[in-house]
Amino acid sequence: MPRTSRNHFGLAVLLAALSTLGPFSIDTFLPAMRAIGDTLSASPLEMQQALTVYLFCYALMMLWHGSISDAVGRRPVILATTLLFGLASVGCALSDSLGALLLFRALQGLCGGAGLVVGRAIIRDRLEGAAAQRLMSQVTMLFSLSPAIAPVVGGWLFGAFGWHSIFVFMALVGFALFAMCWFGLPETHPREARQPLRARNLLSSYWRVGRTVNFQLLTAAVSLNFAGFFLYVPSAPVFLMQHLHLGPTQFLWLFGPAVSGIMFGAYLSGRMAGHFSPREIVSRGYALMFAAALANLAYNLFAAEQALPWAVLPLALYTTGMSLAAPSITLNLMDQFPALRGTASSLQGFCQTMVSSLVAGVVAPLAWASPLRLALVMNGLLILGFVCRMGYRWRIGSQQH
């Protein structure tokens, strides 16, 4: 049964560390993408595949991480994926062609999302109510450091040792997490609560979760909210180096404000848990996101040229609102299926990552030539997310009456 102890900081640190595999795999090698392409004789568009193929495999495997953990337990899934991630990173470091790099990036993607998906299920195994929201917020605060640190670390490693060292660093992170989980991660999913891992049962579980309109609306809302920020992640090399004229070691100008907002929003979410209803917290989150998106649009409409810090400050406000709303929406989403939390977390993660993959592979390349286009797309994604959220609220109101 879930416990309600308030002292779970050690677990929060471990789960946050596990969740860093995804953003580290995305953000650490961004400053070196051009150099990697030059070494492997790949064009910038071909190098974009290294991000797209990772995100596609990341999303695909998210359909399995939670379900497998529902069947065999949380701990075996985490141990297997952290070890394989480390080995895949070694393969990336040794790659001498674009094909080899894409193969090992795909393997990284298959493993990188387990910590995030299974970590959510672990939180709900251990805690409930406001205590679960606080722990989710703690994990978000710690996890959110990685997108700010990763490109800076990548830029330093690239400048000092070349691009191969970036993947060596990823391998060390993977192996270190394997060791930490071997000694420090308890099993939270008892045998008597496990679901059989059969194809028929798996498809039935996904059908049961995925066909629920409320699940669809909440998943779309949180995915589109995140996409409004994630749009700037694959666009970072162009946005920073071409529009703001910064160097490969200065990615902190984008990720620093954005991640500060994520941390502050997560802090606010934890502080507000138990004092405000989830609906009130989410409403405040959307208010901040809309204020940020409109400020970003206004700046790009009226500014003569891009300048720091004004070009990046709206992202800090946007991610504050995004991070404020996300824990309540995510917990609400999983609580609809108490016996299938891992499956629900997997399906939600799959949908969110597929949206991010579409943004990275299609939307961002069409928008990053102009900061104004980026601002317009951010507003469009946020509006779509808000419509989905309002659709969910309308359905809940109709069901209650």
DSSP 8-state class, residue 305: S
Other Cβ atoms closer than 10 A to 400: 6
Which of 244-253, 289-298, 344-353, 383-392 has maximum average pLDDT? 289-298
User: 136-193: per-residue pLDDT in tens?
Assistant: 666 766 666 666 677 778 888 888 888 899 999 999 989 999 998 898 787 877 677 6
Q: What is the mean pLDDT of residues 260-275?
A: 81
Residue-level pLDDT at 297? 94
Domains of the chain: 1-188 (1.20.1250.20), 199-400 (1.20.1250.20)
Could you tell me the end-to-end alpha-carbon distance of the chain, in angstroms, rounded to an integer? 32
Which pLDDT value is given to residue 8? 65
Angle at 183 between CA 57 and CA 125, to 5 degrees: 65
85 pLDDT more than 90: yes
Three-state DSSP state, 151: helix
Average confidence (pLDDT) over 247-267: 80
Q: Is the pLDDT of residue 249 over 80?
A: no
Q: What is the mean pLDDT of residues 116-145?
A: 71
Distances (CA, A) of 33 to 151, 305, 351: 11, 26, 26
pLDDT at residue 346 in the model:
72
> What is the CB neighbour count within 10 angstroms for residue 269?
28
Provide the whole-model pTM: 0.69
Mean pLDDT computed over 331-339 = 74
209 token code pair: 């979760």
Burial class of residue 309 (count of CB atoms within 10 Å of its CB; 0-12, 13-18, 19+): exposed
236-247 average pLDDT score: 82
What is the DSSP code (8-state) at residue 31? G
Can you tell me the mean pLDDT for 223-245? Answer: 85
Tell me what the mean pLDDT of segment 83-105 comes to. 92
Which of 109, 117, 108, 106 has its CA nearest to residue 69?
A: 117
User: Which residues are paired to 276 by β-bridges?
Assistant: 273
Over residues 357-374, the pLDDT tens digits come to 788 778 888 888 888 999
- Do residues 182 and 79 lie in contact, with contact meaning Cβ atoms separated by under 8 Å? yes
Out of 15-19, 322-326, 344-348, pick the least confident.
344-348
pLDDT for 34-61, tens place per residue?
Answer: 888 888 888 877 787 887 888 788 878 8
Find the helix or strand (DSSP H, E) in which 85 lies: helix 74-94
Neighbours of 165 (CB within 10 A): 17
Output phi, psi for 271, to 5 deg.
-70, -35
- Using pLDDT thresholds of 50, 70 and 90, give the confidence band for residue 2: very low
Are 128 and 122 in contact by the 8 Å Cβ rule? The answer is no
Looking from the CA of 214 toward its CB, the CA atoms found within 13 Å total 17
Beta strands in 95-220 (DSSP E): none
